């Protein structure tokens, strides 16, 4: 009987404007072998969701329930599932690497080209009351960690965490420039830097974001609509520059990022919004021994580490709006207008 139960969900019926997100009742999924049924407590709305809704990624075939930033409670486990039981509190990790390709075997699963279980793309995701996910997509929450914090672990906190801790190896007393600081990842980066006892210099293009950046914990805020902030950053660091740049904008700010680096500094590139080629002074790269490193997604193990770090340091994601699931289309409109500071959360 229970497998004929229904649930509320937002289904992407076709590609297009936010109206294509249709709220209604659909059959509740039942876990197949290796799958876990999650009762969803909340799901973040991501810029990727807007891209998928518009049909700009071929992997999604409507009808599809999108949303990959979900957290909730295990309701039921399928045959052969080990390590999860009903009642466990979990958050999702976007995809599952194949585990057998050359990149997976050398410990770089974020480079795997044969991923599966892409939540909200090749399988139904988080804009619903329930979702069936592969057990490899799930990470247990630290004791007492709120769902509304945990759902942002994989997509919002893990990339800057990887940039700051694993690429930058930032310690107390060091300094970090964050470009595009008022976006979700930028605010997360500010919070991570602060938790480590390091100093953050937040770069934003808009005067109107200064207050919010200070409220999020930025030590310095530089308003730079044209990306030429290198001089100011050196001025703020006694002429030396910073140990790490977390580059969330990409080509428009990359020159400023390079000019901000101290000798031996690193630039972790997480975002590229424009896709324009940049020029680099290789003489300086040699003389200063700079390192430039791309950061894609974290791994599932790194997500567990990030959740532990967030919980230990009492980091609360900046949630801009909390909306009921039925208002998913409205959430997409709000995020599309780019006025948001912080994230939007859907609650079933
Ligand atoms: Zn996301
Ligand atoms: Zn692989």
pLDDT higher than threshold 90 for residue 330? yes
For residue 329, how far is its CA from the centre of ligand 2 (angstroms)?
35
Calculate what percentage of the chain has a pLDDT beyond 90: 81
- Locate 95 and state its tokens: 């995809």
CA–CA distance, 218 with 246 (Å, rounded to integer): 14
Summarize pLDDT for 61-119 with one digit per residue, the tens: 999 999 999 999 999 999 999 999 999 999 999 877 888 899 888 988 888 888 877 89
Domain 2-152+317-347 and domain 156-294, same fold? Reply is: yes
Closest ligand, as measured to the CA of 116:
2
Q: How far apart are the first and last CA of the chain?
A: 23
Which is the CATH superfamily of the domain at 2-152+317-347?
Medium-chain alcohol dehydrogenases, catalytic domain (3.90.180.10)
Please give the Cα distance from 55 to 77 (Å, whole number): 32
Q: What is the C-alpha separation between 346 and 344, in angstroms, rounded? A: 7
Task: Note the pTM of the prediction, 2 decimals.
Answer: 0.93
pLDDT tens digits, 287-320: 999 999 999 888 888 999 999 999 999 999 989 8
120 CA from centroid of ligand 1 (Å): 10
pLDDT of residue 339: 67
Contact between 9 and 26 (Cβ < 8 Å): yes
pLDDT, greater one: 341 or 329: 329
Residue from 240, 297, 90, 265 nearest 170 by CA: 265
Q: How far is the CA of 249 from the centre of ligand 2 (A)?
A: 28
With 90 as the cut, is the pLDDT of residue 23 above it? yes
For the cut 70, the answer to whether the pLDDT of residue 1 exceeds it is no
Residue 234 has pLDDT above 90, yes or no: yes
Domain 156-294 has CATH 3.40.50.12780: no
Quickly tell me which residue has 């791309």 as its tokens: 294
Q: What are the boundaries of each domain within the chain?
A: 2-152+317-347, 156-294
Q: What is the pLDDT of residue 3?
A: 52
Closest ligand to Cα 344: 1
């Amino acid at each position: 009987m229970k497998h004929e139960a229904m649930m509320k969900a937002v289904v992407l019926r076709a590609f297009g404007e936010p109206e294509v997100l249709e709220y209604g009742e659909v059959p509740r999924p039942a876990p197949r072998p290796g799958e876990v049924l999650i009762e969803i407590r909340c799901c973040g709305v991501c810029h990727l969701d807007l891209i998928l809704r518009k049909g700009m990624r071929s992997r999604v075939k409507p009808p599809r329930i999108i949303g990959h930033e979900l957290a909730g409670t295990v309701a039921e486990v399928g045959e052969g599932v080990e390590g999860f039981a009903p009642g466990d509190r979990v958050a999702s990790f976007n995809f599952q690497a194949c585990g057998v390709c050359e990149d997976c075997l050398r410990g770089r699963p974020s480079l795997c080209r044969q991923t599966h279980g892409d939540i909200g793309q090749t399988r139904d995701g988080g804009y619903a009351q329930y979702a069936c996910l592969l057990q490899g997509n799930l990470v247990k929450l630290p004791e007492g960690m709120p769902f509304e914090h945990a759902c942002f672990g994989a997509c919002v906190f893990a990339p800057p965490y990887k940039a700051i801790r694993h690429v930058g190896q930032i310690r107390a007393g060091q300094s970090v420039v964050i470009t595009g600081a008022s976006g979700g990842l930028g605010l997360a980066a500010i919070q991570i830097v602060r938790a480590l006892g390091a100093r953050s210099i937040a770069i934003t293009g808009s005067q109107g974001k200064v207050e919010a950046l200070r409220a999020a914990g930025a030590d310095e805020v530089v308003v730079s609509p044209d990306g030429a902030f290198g001089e100011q950053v050196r001025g703020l660091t006694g002429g030396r520059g910073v140990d790490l740049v977390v580059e969330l904008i990409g080509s428009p700010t990359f020159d400023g990022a390079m000019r901000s680096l101290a000798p031996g500094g690193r630039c972790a590139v997480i975002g590229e919004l424009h896709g324009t080629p940049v020029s680099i002074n290789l003489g300086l790269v040699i003389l200063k021994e700079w390192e430039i490193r791309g950061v894609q997604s974290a791994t599932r193990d790194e997500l567990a580490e990030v959740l532990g770090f967030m919980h230990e340091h009492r980091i609360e994601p900046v949630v801009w709006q909390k909306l009921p699931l039925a208002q998913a289309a409205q959430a997409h409109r709000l995020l599309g207008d780019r006025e948001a500071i912080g994230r939007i959360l859907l609650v079933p």
